Amino acid sequence: MVEQPSKKQQSATVQIAILVAIFVVVINAAFYFLSGVYYDGKRGAFGAAPITDAQIQAARVQFGVFTAIVGAAAIAAAFRARITGHVLAALIGVVSLVLVPFALGKSLPLVLPTTLFLLGLLMPVLAWLSLARKSRAAWAFLLAMTVVYATVLFFGSPKVRSLLEIGLWSALIVPGLLVVSTVSLALVRREYRES
């Protein structure tokens, strides 16, 4: 029988969701104004490439999309941490599998497509074993994979940005979702304790 969360727990969850939403709005407003100051300073820099208003607006939109997606995932995690953590990990695993042909086509070192292939196979399977069968080993291995993958993609996001020819904030979406997945999986650790 599934325990129903108490009213106190539901109230705390709603408060967390509201705080995340407020944080997303505030951080976007701050980014809007601070990016204006930053780019105005770069416009006058000696030898700097000219920056257009369209580039500034594109950076602001990318940041808004990044914070909206990661914020929405964090709000989902506040309500259903177990499901959110597993679903995000499985989806990112599937995306990794889809990226294998792209990595092979870019003439990158063979270690990258091999790693993407292994992540693409393992993450959905581990997520299913952990979620459906409550396998402690699968949960622990999946949690470790999300931590490592988030760290590698965070520090590798400038390289991903240049390879995919996207903005830096767009390249940070997947590491941001992996962080939400990692935190969500860590929050449900009590369900995987051995008796």
pLDDT tens string 14-55: 999 999 999 999 999 999 999 888 887 776 656 566 778 888
Are residue 107 and residue 122 in the same domain, yes or no? Answer: yes
Q: Which of 60, 79, 98 marks a domain boundary? A: 79
Non-local CB neighbours of 13 within 8 Å, separated by 6+ positions: 5, 78, 79
Q: What is the mean pLDDT of residues 174-191?
A: 96
Neighbour tally for 101: CB within 10 Å: 11
Q: How much is the pLDDT for 18? A: 95
Binned at pLDDT 50, 70 and 90, residue 1 comes out as very low
| Average confidence score pLDDT of the chain | 90
Q: What is the mean pLDDT of residues 74-80?
A: 95
Q: Which of 79, 113, 135 marks a domain boundary? A: 79
Q: How many domains does the chain have?
A: 2
Task: Judge contact between 116 and 156, C-beta under 8 A.
Answer: no
Percent of the chain clearing pLDDT 90 (strictly above): 71
Rounded Cα distance between 126 and 192, Å, is: 14
Are residue 72 and residue 120 in the same domain, yes or no? Answer: no
Of residues 78 and 43, which shows the higher confidence score? Answer: 78
* 98: exposed, middle or buried (Cβ count in 10 Å: 0-12, 13-18, 19+): exposed
Domain that holds residue 181: 81-195
Q: What is the mean pLDDT of residues 96-106?
A: 89
Q: Which of 20, 46, 79 marks a domain boundary? A: 79
